[in-house]
Amino acid sequence: MSETINQLKEEFAQVEADLQKPEVLSDSKKMSVVGKRYNELKTIMASNQKLEKLQYDLAATKNLLSAETDPEIISLSQEEISDLERQIELNKEELSDLLSPQDPNDHKNIILEIRAGTGGDESGLFAADLFRMYSRFAELMNFKIKILSQSRTELGGFKEIIAEVNGENVYKTFKFESGVHRVQRVPETEKAGRVHTSAVTVAVLPEAEEIDLVIEPKDLRVDTFMASGNGGQSVNTTYSAVRVTHLPTNTVVSCQDEKSQTQNRLKAMQILRSRILANLEEQKNAAESAARKSQIGSGDRSEKIRTYNFPQDRLTDHRIKLTVHNLYNILEGQLLPIIKELQKASRQTS
C-alpha cells in the first residue's frame, strides 16, 4: 500500500499544478476531468494523513507507557492504545476501499424499483415496509428520495413503487440491495397466527443520463391514457398518464403520478433509460465471464439475497452468511452496518 500511496502523492502534486495552468483553466472539459481527479486524490490524501497521525499517536503512547510506573496512568494509556488500534483498523479499511478499483457507476444516482412478489397482500405490505426502510436509510445518509411511480394495493401496500435516490455515491451504497427479499412473519390478515413466507423484488439501477445512452425517437412508441387512483381532479378526466415502449428491447414504462402528460413522459424516459442501460450492462458482464460473480452474488434481480424472520427477530443475508438481530432498528433504516459488510466482502473478492 505504501508504494501506491507514494505514487498517488506524486500524481496529486502534478494534478494540483495542472489546475493552475491557463490551458486547463480555459478549457471546461479539461477542467472537469482534472477537477474530478483532484477531488478523488484529495480524499485519498486526507484519509492517508489521518492514518499516519493515528499511527504516530499510537507509537508515542506506547513509548510513554514503556517508562510509566503509575498504575492509573498505565490503565488509561492501555485504554488509549486500544482505542487508537481500533481507529487505525477502521481507517485502513476506509483507505483500502478508496484505493480499490472503483465501479464507474458508484458515483451515480439510482432508480430504486420495489415490486411485490409471491405472497399476495402480505407481499405488498412488505414492499411498503422495505420502501419505508430505504427512505429512512436515505435520510440518515443525507440522500434525497423522490417517488417517480407507484401502484398501491387495497390494504395500503405496494404492487410496485419506483423512486429516484440522489446524493454522493448512492449507487455504491445501494447496489448490493438488488435481488429477492424474503419475509417470514404472521400477516395482519392471518387469524390463526400462522407464519407466512412472502417475497419482494428490489432492483437498483444506476441512473442513466442522456449522454450514457442514446435512444432514437423512431424506436419509441408513446401511448397516453387516463390515470387511475389517487391524483386529484385530473384523474379520469384527462389523458395525462403515459406508457412508453422501447421497441428494440420491448421495455415498457408507465407513469401516471403527475397531472401533466409532459412530466409523466419525462419520468418514464428517465426510468426507461436506466432500465435499458442496466440490462445492457448485465448482458455485458455475463458475456465477459461467469467468474465475475463474487461471493456476494451477481446482482441478478431473481437471486434470493436476504430473509427477514420476524418470529426470531433475525435478518440473514445469504450471500455472505451474515445474521443480525433487532429487525426494528433495521426497518427504521439502520442498514449501514450490513452494507459495510457487503462492501468488505466485495473488496476481498475483487
Residues 19 and 118 in one domain: no
CA 111 to CA 115: how far, in whole Å?
13
pLDDT of residue 291: 39
Residues 175 and 320 in one domain: yes
What tens-digit pLDDT sequence spans the chain (350 residues)?
788 899 999 999 999 999 999 998 998 888 988 988 898 899 899 999 999 999 999 999 999 898 888 899 999 999 999 999 999 998 998 888 788 767 778 888 999 999 999 888 899 999 999 999 999 999 999 999 999 888 999 888 999 999 999 998 899 999 999 999 999 999 877 777 889 999 999 999 988 766 567 788 898 898 888 776 554 444 445 677 888 899 888 888 888 877 788 888 888 888 888 888 888 777 766 654 443 444 355 445 567 999 999 999 999 999 999 999 999 999 999 999 999 999 888 877 65
Residues 198 and 129 in one domain: yes
Residues 61 and 151 in one domain: no
Q: Can you spell out the DSSP letters for 176-245? A: GG-EEEEEEE--TT-SS---EEEEEEEEEEEPPPTTT----GGGEEEEEE---SS--TTTTTS--EEEEE
Edge-first strand order for the sheet with 241-246 is 220-225, 241-246, 251-255
pLDDT of residue 293: 47
pLDDT of residue 298: 45
Kindly state whether residue 131 falls inside one of the protein's structural domains. Answer: yes
Kindly state whether residue 53 falls inside one of the protein's structural domains. Answer: yes
Cell of 158: 405496494
Edge-first strand order for the sheet with 322-325 is 144-152, 158-166, 110-116, 196-206, 179-185, 304-309, 314-317, 322-325
pLDDT of residue 104: 78
Does residue 344 contact residue 146 with C-beta atoms inside 8 Å?
no
Residues 279 and 331 in one domain: no
pLDDT of residue 211: 58
Structural domain that includes position 174: 110-211+294-349
Per the structure, how many domains does the chain have?
3
Bridge partners (DSSP) of residue 197 are 184
Residues 193 and 342 in one domain: yes
Q: How far is CA 31 from CA 23, 209, 315, in A?
A: 9, 21, 46
- DSSP structure class, residue 21: -
- DSSP structure class, residue 103: P
Residues 158 and 129 in one domain: yes
Q: How far is CA 163 from CA 257, 331, 336, in A?
A: 12, 18, 20
- Structural domain ending residue among the three candidates 99, 126, 159: 99
- Structural domain ending residue among the three candidates 270, 286, 302: 286
pLDDT of residue 287: 54
Kindly state whether residue 39 falls inside one of the protein's structural domains. Answer: yes
